[in-house]
Structure formats: structure tokens, C-alpha cells
Chain A
Amino acid sequence: MTKQVTLTIDGVQVTVPDGTLIVDAAKKAGIDIPVFCYHPKMEPAGMCRMCLVEVGRPMVDRATGEPVLDEDGSPKLQFWPKLETACTNTVSEGMAVLTQSEKAKKEQKDIIEFLLTSHPLDCPICDKGGECPLQNLTMEHGPGKSRFLFDDKLKMDKHVPLGDLIFLDRERCILCGRCVRFQDEVAGEAVLAINERGRGSEIITVSDPGFDSVFSGNTTDICPVGALTTADFRFGARPWELKAAASICGQCPVGCNVTFNTRREAKAEGKVVIKRVMPRQNEQVNETWICDKGRFAYHYAESKERLGKPLVTGKESSWDAATKLVAEKLKDAGSNAVVLASGRLANEDLFNLKSLADGLGGAAVLYTDMGGGDLVASVGVGQGTNFSDMGQGDAILVVASDLYEEAPIWWLRVKQAADRGATLIVANARETKLDKFANFVVRYANGDEVMAVQDMGGKSKIAEAFAKAQNAIVLFGSDGLGMEGSSNVAAACADLLVKTGHMGKRNNGLIGVWPKANDQGAWELGFRPEADLAATLKGKVVYIVGADPVGDTPALEGALKGADFVVVQDLFQTATAELADVVLPAQAYTERDGTFTSGERRVQRFYPAVPPLGETKADYAITTEIASELDMDLEGSSPVLVFEKLAANVKDFEGLSYVKLAEVTEQWPIVGRGDLYYGGTTYENTQGLGVQLVSAAERGETVSIPEFGKEAGLRPKEDELMAVPVTKLYDRGATVAPTELLSERIGETTIALHPDAAKKLGVEPGAKVKVSFDGVKGEAVVKIDETISAGVALIPRNMGLAIREPVAIKVN
């Protein structure tokens, strides 16, 4: 138990753990000491001098070591004439802090006056107005007039692009350094810095592209003025015009808690539109951060290409006609019915689809190229798992995953765990951005993935570190692998965890770095992938929901054409929809309630942000309508009830409900509308922290690991180039590409080659080459990667070249 310290702040007695900063102790006691440069998630800087307070400490007689007492027997306090910064000083026993004495008030007023000297009078046009810490603290602590002459104000650049996503206004910047320190300390990517010195100091970025960090948007949350704004929201709306809807980011399995800010506006023809995405605090999932993909790639939901009406053989129809037709076909199919769904759908949608498939005796197929979800269900991380609690004595193993590109906020949290002393082991066939924070980097050859994981259970130094760790988490992905490879790796990882006893408790277990937000949910609810999709669909009645197999893999067109009847339920008229007999328009998740199950097996609720488009219905409701035509009684009237049924029928979800998922507990640091200056404009979480599912291991059940192959897939053959799939954060996926702002970051299709391979082919970096593999033909721009094997080429997924697993490739 940490030693506790008792002190008084403005006469209020406070008891906090030893080592607490005065500013945090005050916050906990409900006293707001004003700050600018201080941020509770970063090292104190003591720069802005706004938090100067009077500090008195009990006097001690130098000679005797005894406390000095005054007349009434209480300890005499020594207050120094100079005030001290509350953010750099820790509490001590018997300390007295005065934050609102005449002296302290004068200093606060003086500092505000100093900050406002060259600060421009931009409030009327500044995005930050209304949620601006400088405004708020000026009203609270500042002088009413400035004695600085307007004409003396320093003029600086006001519209400086830091890359294409963030804009900097140098006149507004108060040089608190939060953005620079965030990038350096939290993100570990020092792509922002302060250049020059004195009053001429300015924020710069020199990386290419500018501000090259997927966490850049967070700096606009923590900037206490309108100096950093996003290109997405800049000049978009006033914060007080915005409504807030709690939601979960649907882009990756981390499940960051977000808030969609919406506004009804004339230029959207009176529609309610999403103006921006902001982080919502959930200290166990994403703390107060989100990545730029989550922040900017929401525009797909409002794309003009959204389907609004059901289509039957290409012509607009009615829901009634469409669902009746679909039900008829499914009834005839019976066990020849195939439901093909992806992890883009919510738990409620997948539950109803599985129920439908089961009712028909047909198959519930998960549209994915990554296996292992069933193993995650049994040895997933225990309840209460929190990366923030991992540090010295713990271990984290990341296998076959490029976390930075696949799940940026996990990358951030794993990196920070390593900063705190956790043993980080990164195993991959190539260098990824996590390597530099790792204690051990295991560079295996493509094909040796399983062996590398099994070695972790052996006798090496790395194996020892992993085995001895108090807690260990393994994250596995599909970097360089397809279905078979990732399934084998998952099994090997699960096996390792069972052997080393790192399962069945919090901060221990297996996490799948899935391609989609709710892949884990799909596995939990009984969906299973099929390796040979073509064979699976041939001659079947196929109900495809939230997936575009033909768009992803044009070669599957034949298979779709070979199906008996195709129903597509989606947001857009995809390539698959083009071949469909019936197209059913679904709501985007921003238009409805539902839940996702994150990769950490946390079930979290999302709430509607905007009204549904046109005649779209929620996926689970559409399925219910079809089922009712088949005399199947599925819940479809409200998501609460669907979930209730789900929880009653799926073992690991037992005891969960929408009410339970909406529970919140107090979190630290304190963020949110009532207090912006401390933690930034992250939204307070009042709508639910979610609940983690219990795993089989946690229940004490024996976990059986299936036989797994020692090979994870192909190895590069002599004189042959083998292409392997890798993931890119910004790709041409349906939920990303519609955001124009990201088009530069999405970029062109690339192929990464080892310099020797490039030389052999006679190609230079930047050259466009023709590539062909397994029925796919296309073009790609050459990139060089010195860390891969000369027999391997990297092809990013979802960039126009349909790669699903390692495959031999011809270049030029």
C-alpha cells in the first residue's frame, strides 16, 4: 500500500498517495489549479507558469530536527516569497497550498496578461472558441484589458499546414509544448518540435509527409488554444452547435471509444451530419486518444453513393417484395443456404444472421482471411485487462502483426507498457515501427512463423523472459500470412500461453489483431471462415452481409455467378451487389444502436449519431423481417432485445445487458465538457465503459489446442518471388477511401522489394511495374525494404491487388 500524505489546499484537507503532484491532488479535491502546459498523461514541464501557487511547508528546527510550532501548537509553516509551480511539485505531509490567495491570483492574472500580449484577437473566427482553455482561464483568472499595444503584436504565419491533416496557426500558439511532448513522450514519434527561440519560437515539422504520425489528431485535442486544428473540422462548426453521440470506432479491433459530433445544417440540405470524431475517455481501451483513421475516415457513412432503397434484379423495389423474395429462396435452399458475413457488422446483426442460418440448417461463414478467433475465445485476455497496468515484470509478445498500421492505439499502449519496463518481444519477418521499442526483435524467415512462436516456449533468453513474466499478453496478426498461416500461428500462440500459464487472468491471454472491428464478435457468435470461398458459394443461395468478395477478389466473380441466388445487404452498390439478385440497403452503424466485441473481448455499445438514411434498416432488423417470413421468431424490434436474447444464448455473454454495458465508473484524469483545460477536449464517458467477456480459461475449463501445422504457409522458392500480404492503415477499403482528405496518405498501390530483388529485376524505387499472381494482374510502384528477404515482395491488402495469402508473383 503506497504511503499516503495529508495536506491542505485552500483550507481543504486532502489525503493522496505519496508522489502525487500538487495540481493532481487539488483536482482530486475538486479544486482547479489553472494549467496550460501540464497534461496528466505527460511529464510536467513547468513552462507556462500558470499554476504558480503559494506553498507552505512545516518548518523544522535545523539543530534539533523537531518541528517548529507556533503559539497554538500547530506546525509553523514556511512560505517562500517566490510562488511554486503546482505541476512540478509533489505533496508532502502537512503542506499547505494556497491557490486563490491575493498573491496567487495576481500571478495568475499576470501570466494570462503575458499570454494574451501577442495572442491574436481571433475568437470570432477561431475553431477553438467555445471549448478553449485560454478563453475559459482568461474569464476566470485574467485581466479585463491588456496594456499591450495592438500594433506591437508579433505577426506570424496563420495557416501553416503540418502535413495535409493538421493546420497550425503560429500566432495563436502559446508555446505550451503539449503537442511536441505528446509526440515525443506518448507517441514516440518526435515529428513536431519548437524551432527558433524566445518570442520567435514556432512549432515545425520536417518529416515527409509533414507531421508524419497517425496520432497527429490528438494534438488538436490537447492544444489549449486554436493553434492546432484539423483540416477536417477547421471552419466547420461552433462547438456549442454540436450534439454529441457516444460511439465506438468501427475501423479496427481496438474499439476506441469515440464521440460523433453532429449538426443539422443547411448546406447538407437540412440533414444532420457528422462534423467530427472526438475521443471519448475509456482508460482501459484507448485512454483519451484515437488514431487519425478513426478521427478522419468517417465520411463513408455519409457518402452520396449510399444505397437508400431495396433493389430486385437491379430495379428499385419495396422492402415487402424484396424480403418476401429472399425468404422464398432461402426456404427452398434450406441447408444449401449460406450466410456470408464480415466483422464489420455488430453483434446483434451477426447473432440474428447466425440464428437464421441455424434455423435453415445452412452455413454461417465468416468473410475473413485470418483465423484463430475460437482460440481467442478460450484464452482471450482476462476480465479487467488493461495495458496501462502493464510494466516492469510483464511481457508482451507481438507476432506477425504490424500494430502501427493495423491497430495504432494498441501500438501506442504496448509501446508505453514497454516504456514502463514491460519486456516487449516483436516477432516478424520484416522491420515494423514497434521494433525500436522492443527488448527483443525476432526476425524469422517467412514460413518459420510457427517455429518462432514455439521457440518462445523453449530455453532461450527470450523464452525465459516470457515464461518468467508475471503477466504476459500475446497479440497475433496476419502480417505476411493468409488463413492457414494465421490459424497455425494463433494455435501456436495459444499453446504457448497455456504452457506458460499466462491465461485465465487479467493482463494475460491472446489478442487477435483482426482486420475488422467486430471480427472477434463474429467468432464468438459462431461464424467460421471457409478457405475455399468459391467452392462454398457454388450452387448455393447466398446471403452476403457487409462483405464485398467480388470487389476484393475479382476472380470470385465466377463463383458468385455460379451461385443459385445472391442477396447482398450492404451500404453501397458494390461489385458483389452488381451481381446480386436482391440488394438490401443497410444502415451505417452511425445511424443506429448496437455493440461491437473488441479484440480484447470487450463488448461496447454504440449509439446513433445521425438519423437513418432513406429507407435503410438496421442489419439485424432486415434479417428479422426475412426470418419472420420463414416463421422463425428472431428479435428485431429493438437492439436491446436482440442483445438480451444473445446474452441468454451465447455462454460467454451471460449476464450482459445494454444497461450493464452503459455503466461507467469515475476515471482519471478528469476530462470533459465541464473542464477542458486539464486533459483537453476528449469527451467524458457517460454512456458506458463496456464489459469484457469471461474466457473459458478464466472459468477454469481445460483449453484444448487443435493440431496445428508447423508451416505457416509458403516459403519463397529459389528463383521465385513470393508475394505476401501486409496491412496498410490507410487503404482503399470501403470505410476509408471515401474520405478525400486521406487520399494522399492512401497513395498508390505499391510493391516492396529487397534491394537485391529490385536490382535483379532491374527496377528502381518509384518505378511502376506490372505484377501478376494467381489470376490477378495489375500495376504497382516499387518501394525498397531492406529488412525483408530477397525472395519476398510485400503487397498491401485492399490497394487494388487481391492478395489473400502468400503466393508466387511475377514482376514485369
Chain B
Amino acid sequence: MTHILLRHRDIPDINKIDVYKKNGGFQVFEDAVKKMKPEEVTAIVKDSGLRGRGGAGFPTGMKWGFMDNNNWPHYVVANADESEPGTFKDRELMESNPFQFLEGVAISSYAVGANAAYVYLRGEFWEVAAFLDEKIEEMEKAGYLGEKLFGSDYSLKIYTHLGAGAYICGEETALLESLEGKRGQPRVRPPFPPSFGLYGKPTVVNNVETLTNVPLILEKGADWYKSMGTADSAGVKVFSLSGRVRKPGNYELPFGATFRELIYEHGGGILDGRPVKAIMAAGASSSLIDVDDKALDTPMDYASVRDLGADLGSASVIVIDDTISIDWVINKTIHFFKHESCGKCTPCREGNYWMQSVIERIRSDEGTPEDVELLQNVAKQMQNKCLCALGEFATMAVVTGIERFPQDFKLPVRK
């Protein structure tokens, strides 16, 4: 299929500005600024059914519509913090199709009346940020960024800002705190960024992939976008496939493609031809899917995956085969969340540390069945109490891992 996001796979050198321009680049942005009202842009995006691609799946146009028009200035922040284990799609988009992403930032800025936009990249994306800085400079030289664009009154500057190694900064209010030069810890919500965001001003925070969709949605229309995907999940998704598959990588597919298609047709099946044991569809923040044929044939869209007792989230599909024991898996996820917990709220800070002690004991020769029950209880005890989603998501692999794969947690009864 022709890619609409990973377009570099069809059009080589699309990361060069003249190639991008030759392929229709920036025309939509110019048209929007010269001929459209900002509300009209928002209406199209709303109509397209585009939902946030960072994992939360919130309707993008609706988010733009929430911006408080009594409080100025407005900001757009692109969330390029991509730190969910198993996620590497935004990186490829920024490295290989940077102008479509930046144009998406520009269009969304125009739609919400922002004159400054920030791309917040995780600190490890040092080279990506340097690359984007070059691209931004090229756009400025070509007249696509700067003062009074296209002869209008609209000005826009885009800046990159590097984080410094904290997964929690992917949470939008923690990101804003970090961007403001503070510790990246989530704020109390409400208020949400469209009322109180960067520097206390209305801000749209959108994922890189979400924004990369915007130029083509505007060019080809909402109906075009809705024609792909499912009723619940419109459009296409870049699925990051990793784990025990032969061909890990990013694959752009319409919503509704099945897991089987992703893993076998694109991913080349499992290493050594082994069977799939479990799928984590949302990176480390997943409920483990106990894989059978029904699961493999489940369409990958938000609603259908929920019927499997899991979440599609950021569609970072980690594939686990039968050579892996689930206690090893959740040891890794617990370790991750404990390392990344910001420590602000009690249940996440204490709960993750506690879970780590227990899982280590379970995996040592001192673990008991009581420990397995305890781990389950501690995870459940953290739920519905945390200040942000990190604490909540830290529990999901643990709870579902133990529930759905009890065979991997059989421990001898000890005195």
C-alpha cells in the first residue's frame, strides 16, 4: 500500500526539502494560512476521526477545540518523548519524514492560534533533534516558518527542546513541567493543558505520529481519512513490532489489520518458527494477551483489542514466544516502572519498589506461592489511586501476567 506516514519507504529522499515540496509538501499549510480560518482547520481534523497516537487515543480535533480563547498566547507542543518500551515509530518519522511531521506541527499551530511550537524530544534523541534543527532552518530559509508567513499576519517559530532521560516526561503535564525547567512530574488534573498548559497558557500537546497525519488529512479530506481503518479507529497506524519476530520494525497499516497479519505477513513470523505465547500490544504498559487463534485474528483497533482484555495504546507490539517465562517478562516491566517512577505519589513510588522486592524474591529460590499472591495484591492495591497513568500501567502486566499465565508462577510451598 502507499504509505501516508512512512512515505520515505515509497519516496526516497523525502527528508530533503525540494523532494518534499515536489511531492505536494507545504502547499496545505500555505493554503490553510492564506485561505482558511483556524476553526475550519480544526473542524476537518475533528471530522477525520484522528485520535492521539501516543497511547491515550483522545480525539485530536476535540482536544484542539478545548483551547481557552480567553487566555493567550497559545502553544503547540509535539510530544517526541517516545520512551515506551517497544515504541520506535516517532523516531523513524522524524528521521525519515521530518517535513511532514513539521508541517503537521505548523498546521496545528495555525489551527489553535499558536505562534510558537516546541518539539520536546527525549534526551537520547540527541541526533534526531540536531537533524530537526537543520530541517527547521531549511523551512525558515524557504519562508515556511518565521514572521508574517505567505504575506499574512500569521507568524510561527518551531523550536526543539531535549529532555534528559525520564519516561515520565511523556505524560503531557510532566512534559510541560520539564519544558518549563522543573522536575518532570505530572500536575494535578484538571486543569488540562488546553486551559492551563505551558507557562500556564493554553497548550495542545500531541504525539509526533498524530501530527504527521495532519497535512494529508487536510490535503485529502476527512472522508478520505475515515475511509481507512475502522468505525472506532479511523485512519492508519504505524505499528512498532518487536520481540521474538524475525523482522522487527515499524509497519504502517490501517486500523483493523489483524495481529496475525502484522506478526506473520510483515514480521516474518516467530524466530525458529516457535508459537506466539503472549502479545503486549501497548509496550510495557500492556495487559498481556494470552495468544490463541482468536487473539491472532483480532483486528488491531482500540475497541477490538479492549474486547481481548487489553489496550492497543501506542500500538507498540511486543511479541513473546514460548521460550520466555512470564515471570521474567514482568520482572523486566517492574524494573522499568520502578526506575521511571517520578516518586511524586505514594502508591506508585512505594508500590513499584515493593513489587520489585517481591518479584525478585519470586525469581530467587526463596519465593513462595504467598509471594505470588502478595505481588498480585500489591499491584491491585496501586490501582485507581495514582496521580498519573504510569502507576496504573505499571500494574497491568503484573496482574494479567499472573492471572493469565499461572503456570509460569508455580512455586514450591516452603515453610
Chain A residues close to B by CB (< 8 Å):
44-50, 52, 81-83, 85, 88, 107, 110-111, 113-115, 117-118, 147-149, 152, 154, 174-175, 177, 194, 196-201
Q: Are B345 and A199 in contact (CB under 8 A)?
A: no
Residue in contact with B350 in the complex, picked from A46, A82, A114, A149, CB distance below 8 Å = A114
Expressed in whole angstroms, the Cα–Cα distance for A151 and B237 within the complex equals 47
Q: Are A52 and B350 in contact (CB under 8 A)?
A: no
Q: Does B306 contact A (CB under 8 A)?
A: no
Q: Are A175 and B343 in contact (CB under 8 A)?
A: yes
Q: Does B346 contact A (CB under 8 A)?
A: yes
Kindly report which residue of chain A lies nearest to residue B386, judged by CB atoms.
Answer: A49
A-B contact pairs, 16 of them (CB 8 A): A47-B345, A49-B347, A83-B384, A114-B347, A117-B350, A118-B350, A147-B374, A152-B354, A174-B346, A175-B343, A175-B349, A198-B338, A198-B353, A199-B343, A199-B349, A199-B350
Q: Are B343 and A198 in contact (CB under 8 A)?
A: yes
Q: Are A47 and B353 in contact (CB under 8 A)?
A: no
B326 to chain A, nearest CB (A): 23
Q: Which of B347, B352, B374 has the most CB of A within 10 A?
A: B347
Q: Are B341 and A107 in contact (CB under 8 A)?
A: no
Residue in contact with B353 in the complex, picked from A111, A117, A194, CB distance below 8 Å = A117
Q: Does B332 contact A (CB under 8 A)?
A: no
Kindly report which residue of chain B lies nearest to residue A88, judged by CB atoms.
Answer: B188
Kindly report which residue of chain A lies nearest to residue B374, judged by CB atoms.
Answer: A147
Q: Are A46 and B385 in contact (CB under 8 A)?
A: no
Kindly report which residue of chain B lies nearest to residue A175, judged by CB atoms.
Answer: B343
Residue in contact with B349 in the complex, picked from A82, A83, A85, A201, CB distance below 8 Å = A201
Expressed in whole angstroms, the Cα–Cα distance for A315 and B129 within the complex equals 84
Kindly report which residue of chain B lies nearest to residue A111, judged by CB atoms.
Answer: B346
Residue in contact with B351 in the complex, picked from A48, A114, A174, A200, CB distance below 8 Å = A114
Q: For A44, what are the chain B residues with a Cβ–Cβ distance below 8 Å? A: 188
Tell me the B143-174 residues at the A interface (CB within 8 Å): 166, 168
Q: Are A49 and B349 in contact (CB under 8 A)?
A: no
Q: Does B9 contact A (CB under 8 A)?
A: no
Expressed in whole angstroms, the Cα–Cα distance for A362 and B361 within the complex equals 87
Expressed in whole angstroms, the Cα–Cα distance for A412 and B346 within the complex equals 31
Q: Are A198 and B347 in contact (CB under 8 A)?
A: no
Q: Are B345 and A48 in contact (CB under 8 A)?
A: yes
Expressed in whole angstroms, the Cα–Cα distance for A200 and B342 within the complex equals 10
Q: Are B346 and A114 in contact (CB under 8 A)?
A: yes
Expressed in whole angstroms, the Cα–Cα distance for A88 and B345 within the complex equals 14
Q: Which of A47, A107, A197, A200 has the most CB of B within 10 A?
A: A197
Q: Are B385 and A110 in contact (CB under 8 A)?
A: yes
Q: Are A194 and B183 in contact (CB under 8 A)?
A: yes
Q: For A118, what are the chain B residues with a Cβ–Cβ distance below 8 Å? A: 350, 353
Expressed in whole angstroms, the Cα–Cα distance for A83 and B385 within the complex equals 7
Chain B residues close to A by CB (< 8 Å):
166, 168, 183, 188, 338-347, 349-354, 357, 361, 374, 377, 381, 384-387
Kindly report which residue of chain B lies nearest to residue A117, judged by CB atoms.
Answer: B350
Q: Are A117 and B354 in contact (CB under 8 A)?
A: yes
Residue in contact with A45 in the complex, picked from B168, B188, B350, CB distance below 8 Å = B188
Kindly report which residue of chain A lies nearest to residue B187, judged by CB atoms.
Answer: A46
Kindly report which residue of chain A lies nearest to residue B168, judged by CB atoms.
Answer: A197
Expressed in whole angstroms, the Cα–Cα distance for A44 and B188 within the complex equals 9
Known: A49-B386, A114-B351. A198 touches B339 (CB 8 A): yes
Q: Are A197 and B343 in contact (CB under 8 A)?
A: yes
Q: For B341, what are the chain A residues with a Cβ–Cβ distance below 8 Å? A: 197-199
Q: Which of B338, B343, B377, B386 has the most CB of A within 10 A?
A: B343
Q: Are B346 and A81 in contact (CB under 8 A)?
A: no
Known: A46-B387, A47-B387, A118-B353. A110 touches B381 (CB 8 A): yes
Q: Are A111 and B385 in contact (CB under 8 A)?
A: yes
Q: For B347, what are the chain A residues with a Cβ–Cβ distance below 8 Å? A: 49, 110-111, 114
B405 to chain A, nearest CB (A): 23
Please provide the 9 A-B residue pairs with the shortest distance between their CB atoms, ordered closest to farther: A114-B350, A199-B353, A201-B343, A198-B341, A152-B357, A46-B188, A198-B343, A82-B384, A88-B188
Kindly report which residue of chain A lies nearest to residue B339, judged by CB atoms.
Answer: A198
Known: A83-B384, A114-B350. A197 touches B166 (CB 8 A): yes
B162 to chain A, nearest CB (A): 18
Q: For B361, what are the chain A residues with a Cβ–Cβ distance below 8 Å? A: 149
Q: For A113, what are the chain B residues with a Cβ–Cβ distance below 8 Å? A: 381
Q: Are B349 and A198 in contact (CB under 8 A)?
A: yes
Q: For A47, what are the chain B residues with a Cβ–Cβ distance below 8 Å? A: 344-346, 387
Q: Are B385 and A107 in contact (CB under 8 A)?
A: yes
Q: For B386, what are the chain A residues with a Cβ–Cβ distance below 8 Å? A: 49
Q: For B166, what are the chain A residues with a Cβ–Cβ distance below 8 Å? A: 197
Expressed in whole angstroms, the Cα–Cα distance for A45 and B168 within the complex equals 17
Q: Which of B166, B339, B354, B386 has the most CB of A within 10 A?
A: B354
Expressed in whole angstroms, the Cα–Cα distance for A97 and B46 within the complex equals 36
Known: A107-B385, A114-B381, A148-B354. A48 touches B343 (CB 8 A): no
Q: For A147, what are the chain B residues with a Cβ–Cβ distance below 8 Å? A: 374, 377
Kindly report which residue of chain A lies nearest to residue B341, judged by CB atoms.
Answer: A198
Q: Are B346 and A115 in contact (CB under 8 A)?
A: yes
Q: Are B350 and A115 in contact (CB under 8 A)?
A: yes
Expressed in whole angstroms, the Cα–Cα distance for A197 and B345 within the complex equals 11
Known: A47-B345, A194-B183, A199-B352. A81 touches B385 (CB 8 A): no
Q: For A196, what are the chain B residues with a Cβ–Cβ distance below 8 Å? A: 343
B228 to chain A, nearest CB (A): 30
Q: Are A49 and B353 in contact (CB under 8 A)?
A: no
Known: A88-B188, A110-B381, A114-B381. A48 touches B352 (CB 8 A): no
Q: Are A194 and B343 in contact (CB under 8 A)?
A: yes
Expressed in whole angstroms, the Cα–Cα distance for A175 and B183 within the complex equals 15
Q: For A111, what are the chain B residues with a Cβ–Cβ distance below 8 Å? A: 346-347, 385
B275 to chain A, nearest CB (A): 36
Expressed in whole angstroms, the Cα–Cα distance for A200 and B386 within the complex equals 18
Kindly report which residue of chain B lies nearest to residue A115, judged by CB atoms.
Answer: B346
Expressed in whole angstroms, the Cα–Cα distance for A45 and B342 within the complex equals 14
Residue in contact with B346 in the complex, picked from A50, A83, A152, CB distance below 8 Å = A50
Q: For B344, what are the chain A residues with a Cβ–Cβ distance below 8 Å? A: 47, 175, 177
Q: Which of A82, A114, A115 has the most CB of B within 10 A?
A: A114
Q: For A115, what are the chain B residues with a Cβ–Cβ distance below 8 Å? A: 346, 350
Expressed in whole angstroms, the Cα–Cα distance for A194 and B349 within the complex equals 14
Kindly report which residue of chain B lies nearest to residue A154, judged by CB atoms.
Answer: B353
Expressed in whole angstroms, the Cα–Cα distance for A197 and B339 within the complex equals 8
Q: For A81, what are the chain B residues with a Cβ–Cβ distance below 8 Å? A: 384
Expressed in whole angstroms, the Cα–Cα distance for A245 and B387 within the complex equals 42
Q: For A114, what are the chain B residues with a Cβ–Cβ distance below 8 Å? A: 346-347, 350-351, 354, 381
Kindly report which residue of chain B lies nearest to residue A45, judged by CB atoms.
Answer: B188
Expressed in whole angstroms, the Cα–Cα distance for A115 and B26 within the complex equals 54
Q: For B338, what are the chain A residues with a Cβ–Cβ distance below 8 Å? A: 198-199
Q: For A46, what are the chain B residues with a Cβ–Cβ distance below 8 Å? A: 188, 345, 387
Q: Are B387 and A49 in contact (CB under 8 A)?
A: yes
Expressed in whole angstroms, the Cα–Cα distance for A97 and B155 within the complex equals 48
Expressed in whole angstroms, the Cα–Cα distance for A113 and B342 within the complex equals 20
Residue in contact with B357 in the complex, picked from A110, A149, A175, A197, CB distance below 8 Å = A149
Q: For B377, what are the chain A residues with a Cβ–Cβ distance below 8 Å? A: 147
A327 to chain B, nearest CB (A): 69
Kindly report which residue of chain A lies nearest to residue B337, judged by CB atoms.
Answer: A198
B22 to chain A, nearest CB (A): 47
Q: Which of A52, A149, A194, A198 has the most CB of B within 10 A?
A: A198
Kindly report which residue of chain B lies nearest to residue A50, judged by CB atoms.
Answer: B346
Known: A107-B385, A113-B381. 5 other contacts (CB 8 A): A49-B347, A114-B354, A194-B343, A198-B342, A198-B349
Q: Which of B339, B350, B352, B385 has the most CB of A within 10 A?
A: B350
A215 to chain B, nearest CB (A): 22
Q: For A198, what are the chain B residues with a Cβ–Cβ distance below 8 Å? A: 338-343, 349, 352-353
Q: For B374, what are the chain A residues with a Cβ–Cβ distance below 8 Å? A: 147
Q: For B381, what are the chain A residues with a Cβ–Cβ distance below 8 Å? A: 110, 113-114
Expressed in whole angstroms, the Cα–Cα distance for A261 and B381 within the complex equals 42
Expressed in whole angstroms, the Cα–Cα distance for A408 and B167 within the complex equals 41
Expressed in whole angstroms, the Cα–Cα distance for A152 and B360 within the complex equals 11
Expressed in whole angstroms, the Cα–Cα distance for A147 and B140 within the complex equals 60
A90 to chain B, nearest CB (A): 10
